[in-house]
Structure 1
């Protein structure tokens, strides 16, 4: 049962052991079909035919084949997203060898996989052809974005959405760029939902029209209130906040308390941020504030030692510089002044100031901890979270340094540095493990209010707000987050950490380098006025409820 004609005897020798028909067998059409498939699967032949010849002993079976032509050159055309040199590395077919259709099919699959792995899910080999001169032509089809259509944005201007996109008209469609674009649009916080559809092109059906459909959500809030007391009289409260001002993406916030019998009730905070100064996405914002509030100081045991009114006023300006898709730098210049305004209960720091019998750190407590601070803060941030409001994967790594005084004026001179890493791991369909690690160190004469603080709803739950202070700090949090109902999420968490050092000017606070820890349960509820956090944590001194506004870390 010869196979031929073939240019090399080795080809026939490799095939014969794989054939089902053997000398002496009766003719079996199933065996013949098997042999035809085996010979054809080599990819070396353009035709394979069985031929029967009568001989004295019976019938002679010959498999007549026609060899494929020799490939003299390979030409890849139509590719833009991946270079020809990179595609050629995936091609096993080499010039000077007989065309092997099985190898060529494998080459095509490799090229298609390379496009898919790079995000070009619609790019592929559209045609394979060997011409009469022996050139193997591989034609690549890469659908482009014919247009991008926006729907549903009745308030938000088109340019606000378009500037977040990482794809544009004329680009070769890439699913990674499309996915990142949708993430960025959602992360603006202007939309409740963002969806994308791909439609066939109108001018060229092979191209695509990207349709982005958004559902806008409430981005503004108004707070109006009033209060009355015998000492202050009638006090009015007005708050206005808008994170998408007139659909431009600008953020503005004002909070104002007015009226009353004294100037201390004329409290306000005004902030404004313009998120896009240029095509790179640089931002600028400022804040002016003058606020007075009741404040409690706690010792290292969590006991309140003083209750008083503290006033803080000043302003800051922040410039944000985008370095790359996931990396940004922020520089903030700030001047602020803190003032001890009124005694309520506990230690009276003002009386200490006038008591010569007390040690100097008591008499100088107000001078050492209240006054003006002029500072410059730089932050370097890497953030590739999929959703900044409810992340399920990715991380946010930041390094922040503060330079206060030291030639910038003010009453205090210090350096402060903090590093923070937030990590998110998706477990199953909708469960998430979130981890936060923080550490900080500072040097210089830091006032009480600028020391690192731990305790309260934002970090070390189960303890009083800002219960632990110092110029050194570390903290770790692990949360297991799981859905309960629409817009309600459950949380199981544990916190641990400590802050210590640099408290020489705080006579009532005795530092310790003891590890503090807690664990508990909580809920995250999305409401029309913003996210609400409810936590109950048990620390070393018992349990404590925490209620706060704002998103989770």
Structure 2
């Protein structure tokens, strides 16, 4: 059932309430000095008295009497009715002064200000629009009768929403110059709660099973969240249809709802619903056939038929069958195809024969594809997303897919599609896409803060639809206590007509891991590079990407702070600057129905990155990301997620022998290189495996919540300054998440609350993986897309931990994500 928007329903209801205004009572005025004879006379002139805002010419336009007309009692009554009908006047009287017709008027006051207060269930903008549609608006003419009827209609509207304690108080305050201020104060009260639902006459099924899918439910312990115990006439009407469908889907063709009663407690807070039904007998299908002009081969159409002989009759299966055949025909040009299920009921034997009559209608051709509302975006940017083409046969699937592709661009707030028929033809339509553009570029100066990174400042200039051509350009700079970053990127999403994208990235970064709040081993590095990214779509949901890049990474160690094993790795390589030629190949599949708040669909990405032979360090990294969403009900969405990562070196390990001696300072033992002689030690050092600056980390808001950022996994040996050692990550990452999202806790789709369980850890190689050392936590989280940027807050209880773990139950991050 299609539901009209709230604003339109309200406007229609209010309009109907005042569509037939009664005639106002005429107030007797002192008659002017006239000849009071009721006899007819010829009006030599017409004089109008009492006007303030309305011009005499306007009155004469509506007056059915002109100069020289005979004025009779019938004409007088007609004139009074005509002037009242305009709605401009509270009082109208006609008199005579000699042969002059005297029209005496008292104007209705104008509305100076219209104020609404207290309304929450009906939005102010919807209510204001509905009032404006019937003339109750600032600057308009005030009609008290209309206001009274609107008040009654609003009470009815709130009653339909289950709010029977609503009190609506209109106040009219007179002002000078025949003006008034109108205030409508609404006290909505609490919605009446359903305390009991009783179905009388149900013998074949348990009431609990029937009521499971109703929107109207008895008060329960989850009602504070679901709000399913609030009575609404509209909800109950839908539930009656569900009740009818329940039985028809199970073969009870003669089922009927005999009566429905709704009662309310004296305090108007509790509702009681009862329905009397007659179940009848269960029917089976005796025969199914497809007739009419099927267009496609008969056997192909019959394969879409889900109902079979000797099955129990099901209206739902019939509807699905009809929709499937209609959709199949609409995809080959028959936009107006219909399938009429014609049942023949044999009540004696409780059988139903089904004739699926196919009426294809004319085959329809798309004449033109038209875009409206794209003031900044070029037509070619939209047209290249089309899967329906001009001059081709109509395809509903292609039209719908084109709409989705336009929505995914991110340039438009809304996308609506219409298919108006071409005038004068029965086999042509135009496809019109109405778009509402949103801001696709920004210049941002931002401040942010996180527990890990501290204060962050950033400047970003970005344009996702550069000059309306669909290209993405971004320049950004950011700085925090541990990071300086500068970057430039450019992407042409349609480098070729087939949708191959080409992008370029330039970046320069300085990381200072000596900041102890970052929770990693102590060192510093400067990283700069350039990349080229190629994206190739292989299906509507699948994309393959290839990246080529070159970068340089210079490592700086801190004496007495940087662990010896990291220094040994650098010394074994023989240089502190790592040059790399690298490439990455990835595959991504995204079927989610929304980017920020998905309720169904899957996202997964697999990538393999490798530094090419000739790089200072030769290694590879494999990554896998997975998220899947199930809508268990409108109030619950289940998300499962996983992050897996593994890296290692390839080729021969680098080995060197160095001489020196161990020196202990402040509880830290450091190997100090020296010339080889009899008194010095000889050590063999090796650079093998994934370089330490490419290690995976876990712990924190974006992985295993409840544990301090980056603290899970291997650690260096304890020292005087680092009692629990320093986390240095690992070459294997395993993280799993189970999250229940509650999308109905907020009316806005910019915020969501969830309950989660996180499990994960990082390990130094596959051989060291131990499921017994996996950490786990449970808690609640808030994600809010605020004007300043995304805000994430979580509170977690680690229930699987080890001594020495850094626990941080409350974690948050906010600010621009650049």
Cα distance change, pair 154–137 in 1 and its aligned pair in 2 (3 A): closer
Residues in 1 aligned to 2:301 and 2:581: alpha-carbon distance in whole angstroms: 57
Residue 778 of structure 2 corresponds to residue 519 of structure 1: yes
Deviation at 1:274, TM superposition (A): 0.9
Cα distance change, pair 213–375 in 1 and its aligned pair in 2 (3 A): same
Task: Name 1:211's counterpart in structure 2.
Answer: 432
Residues in 2 aligned to 1:431 and 1:550: alpha-carbon distance in whole angstroms: 29
Residues in 2 aligned to 1:111 and 1:257: alpha-carbon distance in whole angstroms: 58
The gaps in structure 2 that reach 5 residues or longer are: 1-285, 306-317, 341-356, 448-455, 650-688, 713-728, 802-806
Task: Choose from 405, 430, 439 the match for 1:184.
Answer: 405
Residues in 2 aligned to 1:476 and 1:527: alpha-carbon distance in whole angstroms: 27
Residue 694 of structure 2 corresponds to residue 450 of structure 1: yes
Task: Choose from 710, 715, 735 the match for 1:475.
Answer: 735
Query: Scaled by the length of structure 2, what TM-score is found?
Result: 0.46
Residue 810 of structure 2 corresponds to residue 544 of structure 1: yes
Greater strand proportion = 1
Q: What pairs up with 1:361-510 in 2 under 5 angstroms?
A: 362-365=567-570, 371-405=578-612, 407=613, 409-429=614-634, 431-444=636-649, 445-468=689-712, 469-481=729-741, 482-483=743-744, 484-486=746-748, 487-502=750-765
Task: Name 2:421's counterpart in structure 1.
Answer: 200
Whether the 8 Å contact between 2:464 and 2:470 is mirrored in structure 1 is: yes
Residues in 1 aligned to 2:552 and 2:734: alpha-carbon distance in whole angstroms: 27
> CA offsets per residue over residues 233-281 of structure 1, 9 Å max, x none?
xx996421122211222111112479xxxxx998521111111112321
Cα distance change, pair 448–158 in 1 and its aligned pair in 2 (3 A): same
SS of alignment partner, residue 458 of structure 1: coil
Residues in 1 aligned to 2:730 and 2:325: alpha-carbon distance in whole angstroms: 54
Task: Name 2:371's counterpart in structure 1.
Answer: 150
Deviation at 1:328, TM superposition (A): 1.4
Q: What pairs up with 1:130-149 in 2 under 5 angstroms?
A: 140-149=361-370
Cα distance change, pair 464–217 in 1 and its aligned pair in 2 (3 A): farther
Task: Choose from 275, 286, 289 the match for 2:504.
Answer: 286
Q: Which structure carries more relative contact order (alpha carbon 8 Å, separation 6+)? A: 1
Whether the 8 Å contact between 1:112 and 1:123 is mirrored in structure 2 is: no
Instruction: Find the structure with the greater CA-based Rg.
Output: 2
Cα distance change, pair 269–115 in 1 and its aligned pair in 2 (3 A): same
> CA offsets per residue over residues 165-220 of structure 1, 9 Å max, x none?
22222344443333322222111122222222332333525543322222222222
Task: Name 2:326's counterpart in structure 1.
Answer: 115
Cα distance change, pair 489–142 in 1 and its aligned pair in 2 (3 A): farther
Residues in 2 aligned to 1:42 and 1:511: alpha-carbon distance in whole angstroms: 62
Task: Name 1:533's counterpart in structure 2.
Answer: 792
Whether the 8 Å contact between 1:521 and 1:537 is mirrored in structure 2 is: yes
Task: Name 2:486's counterpart in structure 1.
Answer: 268
SS of alignment partner, residue 809 of structure 2: strand
Tell me the number of residue pairs that the alignment of Structure 1 and Structure 2 aligns: 422
Residues in 1 aligned to 2:428 and 2:339: alpha-carbon distance in whole angstroms: 14
Deviation at 1:126, TM superposition (A): 9.6
Residues in 2 aligned to 1:382 and 1:153: alpha-carbon distance in whole angstroms: 29
The gaps in structure 1 that reach 5 residues or longer are: 1-40, 44-73, 92-106, 128-135, 227-234, 259-263, 353-358, 505-509
Task: Name 1:86's counterpart in structure 2.
Answer: 300
Whether the 8 Å contact between 1:183 and 1:387 is mirrored in structure 2 is: no
Deviation at 1:331, TM superposition (A): 0.7
Query: Scaled by the length of structure 1, what TM-score is found?
Result: 0.65
Residues in 2 aligned to 1:439 and 1:503: alpha-carbon distance in whole angstroms: 12
